[in-house]
Chains A and B, each alone.
Chain A
Amino acid sequence: MTLSPQKPFKLGFLSHAFGEDPRQAYRDLLEQFEVAEALGFDGGWIAQHHLSSGFGQLPSPLVLLAAVAERTRQIELGTGVIVLPFEDPIRLAEDASVLDSLSGQRVQLGLGSGGANLDNFTAFGLDPAQRQAHFEAQQQQLQQLLEGAPLHADLSLQPPACGLRQRLWHSHGSVAGAAYAARQGNGLLLGTATHDPLTVQKPLADAYLHAWRDTTRAPRIGVVRAVFPAHDRGSAQAELAIDIERHVPRLRREGLIDEALDLDAHLRLMNVHHGAPDDIVHSLRQDPALLSYVDYLIVVTQAESSTQAQVLERLRIIAEDIAPALGWRAKHGLATQPQATVG
């Protein structure tokens, strides 16, 4: 086998804080961060879910990450993503800056326009049709605040946000949006929604890189992938079946899946990499929007009915076996090096 040079990337995980009992879901999240840090993960990212419309239990990632910051020392604290139209940009800038101070500048702030939250706009007194314009106005205001721009009467953001401006990310579903993220000098998050890697995500990544103009800093692409290692493909599918089929009606409604297909096809359409570690390494290498683009690989290891033990075991296998085979090296933590393979 020939060694292809792989550009260095960071490894993170993303959690949607699933679970019946929110208090337990938060405790589990805290433990996931502690375990991931010990395994050498570079970051943990939390999705924001509002109100009772879905399965995610956490509307306040920055409040939860402040708790995580007290239990960890090095791991980066990401949001993947915050629904920006529902936020007051000043309050968000303040909360993010306080968290950044508390955590020793570990925040990575991912932002989205709320495409997966259309039902929630009316509860926040907003019109979902305006969400893209809303996003751009608020994101620019947020950036100005983080840069310390003066407001009325020369007031400015307090506490000052040291460098947080350089740690913003956008999630976009359109080529125009990806190019916009580049022009703003921000990172691009791919795969936060169910988008096809070849026909949707790859063009987004290309448009983003093409539109990047800042010569002082490099573009950065985060790629979210569902990664469910198990003993073999059959046992991985058995663990996943209930949760995948639960999504099928919604995905059909949203036009992302054309018709009822079998579980194998659904897993493929939803970009779920599963099976034995070798199977997963193989399928991630085939992913057309992954290894030649990724600066931050962000794995999802929790489905709605996953147990905490399953999530932690998947994180371990990813840090010890899968990510190293793709070229990732832990910068810190206790990760053991994979054994050299012969052959």
Chain B
Amino acid sequence: MSGGFSLGFLTRVYQPRFDAKVYRDTLELFRVAEELGFDSGWVAQHHFASEQGRLPSPLVLLSAIAQRTRRIRLGTAIIVLPQEPPLRLAEDAAVLDLLADGRVELGLGAGFDPDTFSAFELNPEQRHGRYEDHLQRLHDALGNAALNDQGLQLRPAARGLGQRLWEATSRVEQVAARGNGLIMAPNPHLPVEAGVELVQRYRQGWRSDHLTAPRVVRVQAVFPEGGDDTALRQDIQAYVRRQQTIGVLDASLGGDLGAVLERLGVLHGSSTQIVEGLRRGPQLGVHDQLVVQVQTTSTPLREAIRALEILRQHIAPALGWRPGVAINRPLEEPVQA
């Protein structure tokens, strides 16, 4: 990994049982991360609390967060695009982007949980086709294209938000062809080199006529040792049992936390060990971001803050990150159609 990348964090807004405090804690985490110099914070969308993620409305929460922060970029990783009306999503994102002075990074994915698709009365088998269709409509609306025969356009007009789309998918050639950013996470079932190769394919597919540079968000779960890891142990054990029940993980995986975390592609240990682990992934440059996930389902806020502090002080600088290097793009004027 080279120097001069952006440093972000991702929260899935987990909570074992719902309490509105989970949103206040997320606000506080963004505020602290901004103070620490993090360049971006990303929230995941979950419907019906699937996987105990408590946030179905990332743009609503980010609007509150935008009032409590000034500089940190506000990302979604990801919004399940097939379940969103694309024009409403474009409107909400454009409004949020104005409220947040152009800090929005819109990460999108196709989703996977079949039950949530059924709850939306959608066929999960058709999610990729629906994803492509909604992405095109979102792109048109954010590009201020005419949306019907009368030539109506998105209002407020999006200012450069169409150049701040990200996709989480293994179909990286399509992402590159569309000129969008790539969100990638290590696949625990594949060797580290697979992720490196994925990013290479993405960069090779980038067209020289795109207006922006290729950009990669590398999501990585990181748990620095030294704090209270009771919640981590319990959550990981429960996760492994669930995955074994549905046959995703083999039953032989034992009770040793270190071995389990390694098997899951999670970095755990001393700062030196975590730095070593991060060096093994894809190279990140000035347009790329290292985005760390430091929470499992019941991680207390103080533990999450402790992890961000260690990342800020000991881990990211060892990899070449410097606060304030991140590119801040000013709001662009709307394109006149």
Contact = CB atoms under 8 A, between A and B. Distances in A.
A joins B in a complex: yes
A153 B119 contact: yes
Given A57-B156, A87-B88, A158-B49, A66 B95 contact: no
B98 A158 contact: no
Interface in B91-106: 91-92, 94-96, 98-99
A264 interface: no
A119 interface: yes
Contacts of B83: 88, 90-91
A69 interface: yes
Contact of B118 (A23, A49, A153): A153
A286 interface: no
A101 B48 CA distance: 15
Nearest to A92: B88
Interface in A138-163: 151-153, 155-160
Interface string B79-91: 0000111011001
Contacts of A53: 150, 152
B85 A152 contact: no
A69 B156 contact: no
Contacts of A152: 115, 118-119
B253 interface: no
A96 B83 CA distance: 17
A19 to B, nearest CB: 10
Contact of A155 (B48, B55, B64): B48
Nearest to A48: B91
Contact of A66 (B46, B60, B88): B60
Contacts of B147: 51, 123
B243 to A, nearest CB: 19
A98 B92 CA distance: 15
A123 B152 contact: yes
A64 B155 CA distance: 14
Given A95-B60, A124-B87, A60 B92 contact: yes
A27 to B, nearest CB: 9
A71 interface: yes
Nearest to B85: A88
Residue from B18, B64, B67 having most chain A Cβ neighbours under 10 A: B64
B64 A69 contact: yes
B155 A51 contact: yes
B122 to A, nearest CB: 10
B302 interface: no
A130 interface: no
Contacts of A87: 85, 88
A320 interface: no
B280 interface: no
Nearest to B159: A23
B115 A155 contact: yes
A86 B116 contact: no
A50 interface: yes
B58 to A, nearest CB: 9
A241 interface: no
Nearest to A101: B20
B289 interface: no
A159 B54 contact: yes
Interface in B30-76: 46-50, 54-57, 59-61, 63-64, 66-68
* A contact residues, range: 35 or more
Interface string B128-155: 0000000000000000000111101111
B57 A98 contact: yes
A258 interface: no
Contacts of B88: 59, 86-88, 91
A81 interface: no
Given A52-B153, A64-B95, A88-B88, A158 B116 contact: no
Interface in A70-86: 70-71, 86
A95 B120 CA distance: 15
Contacts of A123: 87, 147-148, 152
A53 B146 CA distance: 12
A138 B159 CA distance: 32
A205 interface: no
A53 to B, nearest CB: 6
A148 B8 CA distance: 35
A59 B99 contact: no
A224 B117 CA distance: 39
Contacts of A51: 147, 152-155
B68 to A, nearest CB: 6
B60 A62 contact: yes
B84 to A, nearest CB: 7
A63 B85 contact: no
A87 B18 CA distance: 25
B20 A159 contact: yes
A59 B47 contact: no
Contact of B91 (A23, A50, A122): A50
Given A67-B63, A151-B119, A152-B119, A102 B23 contact: yes
10 contacts: A22-B95, A22-B98, A50-B91, A63-B63, A90-B47, A94-B47, A94-B57, A152-B115, A156-B48, A158-B48
Nearest 4 CB-CB pairings of A with B: A22-B156, A94-B56, A59-B91, A155-B48
Given A70-B68, A90-B119, A159-B56, 14 more contacts: A26-B98, A60-B92, A60-B95, A63-B59, A63-B96, A66-B64, A67-B67, A70-B67, A86-B87, A91-B85, A98-B23, A98-B56, A124-B87, A151-B48
